[in-house]
Amino acid sequence: MRVHGAPWRNYSRFIMASSLDQLKQMTTVVSDTGDFESIKAYKPQDATTNPSLIFRAVEKPAYRPILDEVIAKNKGSSLSGKKLAAKIVDELLVAFGLRILEIVPGRVSTEVDARLSFDVEGSVAKARELIGLYEKAGISRERVLIKLASTWEGIRAAEICEKEGIFCNMTLLFSLGQAIASAEAGVTLISPFVGRIYDYYKKQTGIDYQGAEDPGVESVRQIFNYYKKFDYDIEIMGASFRNVSQILELAGCDLLTISPNFLDDLSKSDAPVVQKLIPEEAKKSSIERRSFDEKSFRWDLNQDAMATDKLAEGIRVFGADIEKLEKIILASV
């Protein structure tokens, strides 16, 4: 089952509506948080998490009981050490996902351990484990997206998963090449990281990019135009925003995953929101169709210094936060 953005509406209906409500008329809004109260407040369609968000959540007194509950369920386990910690991390991710699914009407994204980003078999096995935990809890797999890093191996793992009916969200995606390879693998959804692209170019140039000139915005627009021109049935979910301008420049994208602070800003504003990404216009784009095998994918990624740098950095950060979670768990069991 593929869930797409809301139908386009007449802008005259937006009078007096908040910017957030206007945006929801042209884009499916997804909450980028592990904070249940924020999700309840802004009523997104879907929600997405990652190891960093879950790590920050369990550091808060309000959410620590979720971790304690999962640890308690594993008392007396035959596993120990890192194997037990890994099992508890998986169950913790799903525990957060289950609570989120009680709030949102759509889907939740749950991430495969970033340390498996170059391991096809390991990633597939972990995806099956996570989906199994959701199904054991009575959640159908149509309501879950498994997040995988957009490495060559991650994309191959997603291809296998999709054929088994495990729907995938390709994360840490920074280039058109990654997006094309993901589309050719038949994934359900991709998450281009707008803000991290912006961060890279701002650091390199010293320019505080604004509006349509923002390189992160340009990257998503390029992917959107490519997918729509060549009729790929793949959802695009812009992610990792640094300011509201980036969000508004991508109005019309299939989905946008937005952190609570920006959802709050949008809900308090009544500035008009104009659709910037339009499928019919994208079909008119002058873009050459491309295809990748492993060698050409790796070369294309290598030639993109930004994408290479941010992909590696993202894997390191997510991997480090998984290790921090495991240390908390090992100190508690």
* Residues catalogued as catalytic: 147
Amino acid type, 319: G
Are 201 and 218 in contact by the 8 Å Cβ rule? The answer is: no
**Burial group, residue 80, by CB count within 10 angstroms (0-12, 13-18, 19+):** exposed
What does the alpha-carbon distance between residue 45 and residue 24 come to, in Å, rounded to a whole number?
9
- The bridge status of strand 28-32 relative to strand 46-48 is parallel
**Burial group, residue 148, by CB count within 10 angstroms (0-12, 13-18, 19+):** buried
The number of helix segments (H) and strand segments (E) in the chain equals 15, 8
**Burial group, residue 1, by CB count within 10 angstroms (0-12, 13-18, 19+):** exposed
- The bridge status of strand 28-32 relative to strand 255-258 is parallel
DSSP one-letter code for 193: B
Are 97 and 110 in contact by the 8 Å Cβ rule? The answer is: yes
